[in-house]
Amino acid sequence: MSQADPGDAKALPPLQTPSSGLPPPTASLEPGLVRISLLICGLMVLYGLAWEAFIDPVREGSWLWLKVIPLALAMPGLARAKVYTYQWMSLLIWLYLCEALVRIASPSVSERWLALGWLVLGLALCGAILLAIQRLKRQQKKLTPNPSANDGLHDPQGDGPQKK
């Protein structure tokens, strides 16, 4: 017989709360915000492809439509409500917003309007992602018990530690 390796995660029993024997409740992203984020991201992919490939390409044969690939790659993670995807998308979206702001200053009127549409979609996606993460953090805060609330070391008025 072989003994289980103490470093093997599969050999360890799952963590459970001591009071109920059930696993602790987990917070999750709101389904409505997940759908909105996914919809806006899909619209940005279609809008970016149409803009850069057909409507107003920078020049003939431009490969600028490739900028939507990261958005397309993020869609499965957004659909599955993966927090990690929401976190990296909250950083990536700023590149798209900066591009829109730069292209709004274009001499071409059609490109200005297209860039304004890109900016609106980017701001909407940024808002949806940040709101989803903010609400998730609030849920996690509500579900996590405050370990210092009743440990007898802190004064209820918040003046500092009590002496025993």
HSE-CB of 106 using CA atoms within 13 angstroms: 17
What's the whole-model pTM score? 0.72
The model's pLDDT over 62-94, given as tens digits with 9 standing for 90+, comes to 888 899 999 999 999 999 999 999 999 999 999
Cβ-contact 41, 71 below 8 angstroms: yes
Give me the amino acid identity at 30.
E
The model's pLDDT over 3-48, given as tens digits with 9 standing for 90+, comes to 555 544 444 455 444 555 666 667 788 999 999 999 999 999 999 9
Torsion of CA 88, 90, 92, 96, to 10 degrees: 160
Report DSSP state, residue 65.
Answer: G
pLDDT of 27: 75
% pLDDT > 90, the chain: 57
Residue 94 to residue 79: CA distance in whole angstroms: 21
The model's pLDDT over 115-143, given as tens digits with 9 standing for 90+, comes to 999 999 999 999 999 999 999 999 888 88
pLDDT at 49 over 90: yes
Residue 122 to residue 25: CA distance in whole angstroms: 33
